[in-house]
Amino acid sequence: MNVTDGKLDILLLGSGGREHALLLKLVESPRAGRIWVAPGNGGMDELATPVTLDQDDPAAVASFATDKGIGLVVIGPEAPLVAGVADAVRAAGIPVFGPSGRAAQMEGSKRFAKDVMARAGVPTAAWRSFTDEASCLAYVRSLGGPCVVKADGLAAGKGVIVAQDVDEALDGVRECFSGGFGEAGRTVVVEELLQGPECSLLVLTDGTTLVPLATSQDHKRALDGDKGPNTGGMGVYSPVPILLPGELEQMTQMMQATVDQLRRDGITYSGCLYGGFMLTEDGPKVLEYNARFGDPETQVVLPRMRGDLVEAFLACDDGTLDRVDIGWGDDWAVSVVLTSAGYPGSYERGKPISGIEDAETLDGVTVYHAGTRRDGGGRIVTDGGRVLDVTAVAGSFEDARNLAYQACDRISFEGKTYRHDIGIKAIKGRTSL
C-alpha cells in the first residue's frame, strides 16, 4: 500500500457525474495521493489517471489495487457492488468504500429490500412480487387503479413504471416480462402508489453508526411539468425546504432501523445508503433504497459538505465513523442535467461540446461531466444520454437556480436538451405538490 506523508493512492470506479463529483471532493483531502479512475470520463482525466479495467470484475479490480499499492478503493456505481467487487477488495486487505455484495442487494433486489424493511418495521408501500407474468397481470387487474410496477433488479434507474391506470400498469408488467429491462425484469414487484412530494436522503454508515448527509430532491421525468418517461434524473436541488418538523429525524430513524436489521441478519452494511422517500400525509415512507451515492443527488450534496471525504470513507470501512465530523454550510445547490436529444431513448454520440470553461467562470458554478469523452483531437464530445450536470451553489435558492440556468446557456452541443423547471417545486411550496 502506497502511503507517503499520510497520503493514500486511490482507485475510483465509475464514469458518470456522480463519480466526477466524488473525484473533486476526494482531491480536496490532504490524505489524497495519486488517484486512478476506471474508466472515468472526458472531464476526469485532468485530475486523475484513467485506467482500462473492467469495473464489474471483482478479481480484476482487486488485482489492480494490489499491484498499484492502492490505499482506498471507492466504488461509485451499483453494478460493481452487486457483483461483489467490494468483497474481493476487502479480502485482499485493502480499504474500500462500498457495501458487500449481500448488502448491495438492498438495491440489487427490490424484493430483498422490502423483506428487510418489513422485518425492521420501516414504513413503505404495500407490495407483492411475481415471477409469473399471468399472475402478475391478474393481480394488477384486481387492483383496478393506479399502482407502481418495478423490475426487481438493476435497470439503470429506468425499471420503474408509475402507472396512473390499469392499462398503463399492464403495459408495464408486459414490458418487464418481455425482457425490456433484461434480467432485472424476471421478477416484478407491484406496489401501491403513494402520494406526496419525494425526498432523497443519503447516509454514510459503518454498519452501526449512521451519519445523515444533506437532503435533496431529484426530478426523474424527462420533460417539464414532470411529464414524459422516467430517466436517471434530469436535475436536483439541496436542501429540501418543504420538509415538515421532525420528518428528517423520522427518515434517519428508518434508515438506522434498516442498517440495524441487516446487522441482525448477519450483514454489515458499510458505505453509502440512499433512501428515496415519499412524504405522505401519514409521514415519510420509503420508496426505494440504493446501495450507493445517488446520481445526480451527489452533485448537489457533496459541494455543500464540510469535511474530509477520504477520512469519512476510511472510517466507514474500519468501523470508526463515530469519530468523523461532517458539517454543512447554509448555502443552496441546484443542478440541471444537460442531455442528448432523444434521451432516455436512443441518441447520437460524438457531438462536440463548447462553453464549459465559460460556464465555470461564473462564481459558484461547477460543471460535472457525465456522458463525455475526448475524441482523437482532444476535444470534449458527448458520449451518453446524460451529458453534463451544471451545478450552482449560492446563498439563496433563487440565486443558485438562476445561476445554474445562466451557466446552461453558455454551454452548447448539437441536440442539447434540458428541463427548464428544476426546483420550481421548492419555490411553490408543499401545498402545491
Same domain as 324, residue 199: yes
* Residue-level pLDDT at 305: 97
* Residue-level pLDDT at 83: 97
Instruction: Record the cell numbers describing residue 232, joined without a space.
Output: 436517471
Cα 113 from Cα 235, distance rounded (Å) = 26
Residue 48 and residue 12 in contact, taking contact as beta carbons nearer than 8 Å: yes
DSSP string covering 329-346: -S-EEEEEEEE-TTTTS-
> What tens digit of pLDDT does each residue of 362-383 get?
999 999 999 999 999 999 999 9
> What tens digit of pLDDT does each residue of 58-98 get?
999 999 999 999 999 999 999 999 999 999 999 999 999 99
Whether 2 shows a pLDDT value over 70: the answer reads: no
> What tens digit of pLDDT does each residue of 6-40 get?
899 999 999 999 999 999 999 999 999 999 999 99
Instruction: Record the cell numbers describing residue 190, joined without a space.
Output: 407491484
* Residue-level pLDDT at 183: 80
Contacts of residue 252, defined as CB under 8 A and 6 or more positions apart, other chains included, come to: 201, 203, 210, 212
CA angle (258 as vertex; 283, 221 as ends), nearest 5: 55
Same domain as 383, residue 317: no
Has residue 119 been placed in a domain? no
- 3 state DSSP class of 95: coil
| Residue corresponding to grid cell 451518453 | 384
Average pLDDT over residues 156-172: 85
Which strand (E) or helix (H) includes residue 368? Answer: strand 365-369
Question: Terminus-to-terminus CA distance in the chain, angstroms?
Answer: 51
| Residue corresponding to grid cell 407483492 | 128
Residue 91 and residue 65 in contact, taking contact as beta carbons nearer than 8 Å: no
Same domain as 135, residue 34: no
pLDDT category, 126, cuts 50, 70, 90? confident
Residue 181 and residue 161 in contact, taking contact as beta carbons nearer than 8 Å: no
Same domain as 383, residue 285: no
* Residue-level pLDDT at 433: 43
Contacts of residue 157, defined as CB under 8 A and 6 or more positions apart, other chains included, come to: 220, 230, 231, 232, 233
Whether 203 shows a pLDDT value over 60: the answer reads: yes
Residue at a domain's end among 191, 215, 237: 191
- Number of structural domains (the chain) is 4
Same domain as 274, residue 233: yes
* Residue-level pLDDT at 42: 96
Question: What CATH number is given to the structural domain containing 216?
Answer: 3.30.470.20
Domain span at 133: 127-191
Angle between helices 17-26 and 309-318 (to 10 degrees): 100
pLDDT category, 3, cuts 50, 70, 90? low
User: Which residues are 237's β-sheet partners?
Assistant: 217, 334
Query: What pTM does this model have?
Result: 0.92
Cα 379 from Cα 350, distance rounded (Å) = 10
Residue 144 CB neighbour total at 10 angstroms: 10
Residue at a domain's end among 283, 308, 328: 328
Same domain as 45, residue 64: yes
Same domain as 232, residue 266: yes
pLDDT category, 432, cuts 50, 70, 90? very low
* Residue-level pLDDT at 409: 98
Residue at a domain's end among 299, 328, 357: 328
Nearest Cα neighbor of 162 from 340, 302, 287 is 287
Look up residue 114 and give its DSSP letter. Answer: H
Question: What CATH number is given to the structural domain containing 47?
Answer: 3.40.50.20
